[in-house]
Homo-oligomer: A and B are copies of this chain.
Amino acid sequence: MAAYKKVPHCIKTQQYTVDELSELFRIAKTYKETGESSSARGKIMTTLFYEPSTRTRLSFEAAMLRLGGRVISTDNAGQFSSAAKGETLEDTIRVVSEYCDVIVLRHTDEDAAERAINYSAHIPVINGGCGPNKDRPHYMHLAQHPTQALLDLYTIEEHFGYITSLRVAFVGDLKNGRTVRSLAYLLGKYHGVKIKFVAPGNLAVGDDIKDYLKRHNVEYQEYGNLASVIDQVDVVYMTRLQEERMTGSSELSASMDRIRLGTSYAMTEALAAKMHDNAIILHPLPRIDEISTAVDRMKQAKYFDQARNGLYVRMALLHQMFN
């Protein structure tokens, strides 16, 4: 990852060492206490989003403003503008990088951020979520959302005080989720972490993630329902079930699948009550109905704290880029 040393891009979670993560989290913790700084004074961030994501964009923009920086923004670059006229991502990056000091890029192509760094002049690029583009299935293993995974890991570390040897369940659509990939890659860097994948067969976690975990000697197993692991883990990482991807061909089977999935892969108050006393529930949000709102009041529910931590982790990331 030497190339990332000269310009501090944030492209994929593999790029980080455990020491770098510790340092990032130390800064994030400071920002959680102080809330503000002037470390981005005079700097301009561009949020260049080819697909809209209000939450992620606002989180980055709030982070930049709280560092004393400024923002220029577009949240539908793909539909509306030069891209619609046929301009390549590379040309857009070359031009936009002249206007600003950092680009946050969200794109449907999995390798968009990786390609962008070759054209961004001397400014850093942050992957704000790239891929998956279902028209390019052989690129799917590159889909990542690294800043989401960084804030996930920060939240885990904040709660437990450590990552080593934690047992983490990933639940839901593990095939299409880029945050699952990004976080699994991070967890693989810590000793003794044990992972349990809980997903329906057609949404099972991809081979690329399993291969990575094997190479890093991370123990993992696959399960068919959440109930069977609920009392054996420290972290339950829920993800959104994207119905349109799960269902069979008929309306009937779609409906039946949904009921079955709702039972096997959703977090209810009853299930949450079976968790260990110190265990936590995370979710990258948005949540549809895979976590009952009744769970929100339980001490296990950490997904809104997690969203809040996104602000501080992104402040820390930007802070490092400018200092």
Residues of A within 8 A of B (CB): 36, 42, 44, 46, 52-55, 57-59, 61-62, 65-66, 70-77, 80-82, 85-87, 90-92, 94-96, 98-100, 240, 285-289, 293, 304, 307-308, 311
Contact = CB atoms under 8 A, between A and B. Distances in A.
A88 to B, nearest CB: 8
A302 to B, nearest CB: 13
Q: Quickly give the copy total for this chain.
A: 3
Contact of A65 (B57, B70, B90, B293): B70
B65 A286 contact: no
Contact of A286 (B44, B61, B82, B99): B82
A287 B87 contact: yes
A82 to B, nearest CB: 4
B307 A85 contact: no
A286 B95 CA distance: 10
Contacts of A53: 81-82
Contacts of A62: 44, 72, 99-100
B240 A85 contact: yes
B65 A44 contact: yes
Q: Top 10 closest A-B pairs, CB basis?
A: A87-B286, A54-B81, A62-B99, A52-B80, A82-B286, A98-B308, A86-B288, A95-B307, A61-B72, A65-B70
A287 B54 contact: no
Contacts of A70: 65
Contacts of A55: 81-82, 92, 95-96
